């Protein structure tokens, strides 16, 4: 008994002191520049060294989106969206798998009781008479344990932990994407509704022009060609009205799908009446920080790095498979030929069954498994580097749009103003008989087209800011993270 105790103690110390055979993890070099690219006026403030009080990633979505209706939609989506719910359940499943894998580091203890009753006939019995044997046994503790001398189980546990952390980061990335998708869908809905309102106004104007032209034709003051040109403009506006009515309905369906539940009557009425696109829904600009900040701010990059760490740990498990596997199995309890004697003095019983398994010939499977682990790590390095490159490109695109969209909106606003003046002049010249009605129709088409283009550009600018907010790591928190909470978060992450 003393020998078994010493063996167990020695094995326990060896297992505790043993380390994994996984390579030491080293974060790959970032495959992007240390500054965002600048082209002309685009991105001219991207690499500003001015200190920022709050990084874009720390701005809560309630503080970023000022529209109360949009805040309600985002709140409901975070509660009911099915994609986010599946992502959260995947995290719970990964956590359970990690706990299962981690439990293999400890002995498997159980309590068992058994009975063995046998009867041997007289012709096969050693005594020449029928023989009945009874053995009753209660094993107070039954232990089965693989001694992890080479760190195989520990490496598999590290891999399971990395998978759990990656899925948790994926859940966070899903939440950020959902916030941005709801906001973009809301912006598109309001833009299409403003275009519908603009089209309705244009349709009413063209209907009046058509009716007036028809009267002028009947009075002999206009030609049949003027009437047909007016009708073409009218039918074009009717087609646009049908188009934007359909687009607004589809946009509303997209919003309902994202929030994961039907709209309340109050919210439906508010969305139906939201026929303008306000420019102040989001801030005009965002602090960009440096590309190195993305490594800590973007959950998709952190998820890719966790998967890479898991692949690195898997190499340790593949290496450990080349070495002997030691398993200790034992039990201790009481045994007796009768139930009443199970707990009598001298009924103690124990077994100790150590086992060692040494791989001799596996047909190259172990070497192939190690090669596979190394290849899988190289794949995850490439995935990690690609995640960084994609995030770098998304931020660069958003920063390029900040300045250029403002310039474009300024120019298109001036174009709309000029088109309005041109239309007024053309109508006056037609009323005075200086020009024909074709000039009025042409000016009206130009005005309507420039108004549509301005609405779409304003929509694209808002979508660009929202996407930049997500690309910089924003949307993970409801309220803006203050300096104290950010410091505590960094300390928790480092530990």
Least confident of 8-17, 199-208, 315-324, 366-375: 8-17
Euclidean distance between CA atoms 460 and 358, whole angstroms: 65
Query: What confidence score (pLDDT) does residue 487 get?
Result: 43
All domains of the chain in start order, with CATH: 16-106+150-322+367-494 (1.20.1600.10)
Does residue 467 have a pLDDT over 60? yes
Strand blocks (E) in 337-480:
348-357
Q: How confident is the model at residue 213 (pLDDT cuts 50, 70, 90)?
A: confident
Convert 461-478 to b/e letters by CB count within 10 Å (16 or more is b).
bbbbbbbbbbbbbbbbbe
Q: Quick check: 71 and 478 in contact, CB under 8 A? A: no
Query: What confidence score (pLDDT) does residue 437 get?
Result: 77
Query: What confidence score (pLDDT) does residue 240 get?
Result: 94
Residue 383, judged by CB atoms within 10 A of its CB (0-12, 13-18, 19+), counts as: middle
- Whole-number Cα distances in Å, 369 to 129, 315, 334, 366: 59, 9, 45, 5
The DSSP 8-state label assigned to residue 45 in this structure reads T
The DSSP 8-state label assigned to residue 145 in this structure reads E
**Candidate ranges 222-226, 368-372, 401-405; pick with highest mean pLDDT:** 368-372
Decide: pTM greater than 0.75.
yes
Q: How confident is the model at residue 43 (pLDDT cuts 50, 70, 90)?
A: low
- 142: its two tokens: 């039954």
Query: What confidence score (pLDDT) does residue 150 get?
Result: 86
Average pLDDT of span 2-7: 47
Does residue 55 have a pLDDT over 70? yes
């Amino acid at each position: 008994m003393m020998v078994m105790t010493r063996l167990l103690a020695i094995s326990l110390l060896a297992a505790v002191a043993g380390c994994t055979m996984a390579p030491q993890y080293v974060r790959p070099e970032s495959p992007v520049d240390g500054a965002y690219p600048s082209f002309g006026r685009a991105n001219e403030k991207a690499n500003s060294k001015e200190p920022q009080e709050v990084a874009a990633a720390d701005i809560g979505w309630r503080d970023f989106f000022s529209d109360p209706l949009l805040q309600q939609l985002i709140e409901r989506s975070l509660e009911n969206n099915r994609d986010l719910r599946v992502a959260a359940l995947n995290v719970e499943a990964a956590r359970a798998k990690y706990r299962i894998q981690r439990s293999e580091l400890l002995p498997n203890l159980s309590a068992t009781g058994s009975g063995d009753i046998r009867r041997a006939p007289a012709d096969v019995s050693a005594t020449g008479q029928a023989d009945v044997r009874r053995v009753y046994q209660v094993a107070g503790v039954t232990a089965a344990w693989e001694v992890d001398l080479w760190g195989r189980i520990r490496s598999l546990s590290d891999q399971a932990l990395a998978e759990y952390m990656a899925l948790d980061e994926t859940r966070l990335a899903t939440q950020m994407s959902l916030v941005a998708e709801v906001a973009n869908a809301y912006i598109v809905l309001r833009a299409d509704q403003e275009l519908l309102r603009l089209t309705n106004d244009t349709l009413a104007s063209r209907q009046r022009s058509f009716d007036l032209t028809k009267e002028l034709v009947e009075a002999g003051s206009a030609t049949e060609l003027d009437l047909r040109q007016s009708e073409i403009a009218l039918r074009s506006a009717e087609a646009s009205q049908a188009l934007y009515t359909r687009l607004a309905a589809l946009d509303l369906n997209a919003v309902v799908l994202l929030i994961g539940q039907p709209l309340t009557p109050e919210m439906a009425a508010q969305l139906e009446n939201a026929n303008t696109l306000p420019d102040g829904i989001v801030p005009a600009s965002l602090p960009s920080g440096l590309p190195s900040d993305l490594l800590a701010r973007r959950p998709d990059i952190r998820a890719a790095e966790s998967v890479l760490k898991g692949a690195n740990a898997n190499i340790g498990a593949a290496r450990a498979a080349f070495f002997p596997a030691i398993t200790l199995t034992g039990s201790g309890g009481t045994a007796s030929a009768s139930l009443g004697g199970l707990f009598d003095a001298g009924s103690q019983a124990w077994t100790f069954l150590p086992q060692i398994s040494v791989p001799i010939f596996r047909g190259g499977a172990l070497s192939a498994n190690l090669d596979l682990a190394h290849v899988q790590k190289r794949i995850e390095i490439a995935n990690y580097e690609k995640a960084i490159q994609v995030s770098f490109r998304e931020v660069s695109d958003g920063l390029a749009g900040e300045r250029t969209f403002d310039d474009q909106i300024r120019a298109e606003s001036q174009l709309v103003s000029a088109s309005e003046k041109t239309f007024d002049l053309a109508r006056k010249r037609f009323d005075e008989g200086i020009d024909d009605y074709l000039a009025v129709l042409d000016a009206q088409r130009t005005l309507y087209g420039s108004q549509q283009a301005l609405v779409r550009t304003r929509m694209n600018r808002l979508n660009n800011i929202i996407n930049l907010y997500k690309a910089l790591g924003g949307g993970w928190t409801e309220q803006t993270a203050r300096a104290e909470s950010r410091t505590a978060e960094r300390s928790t992450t480092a530990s």
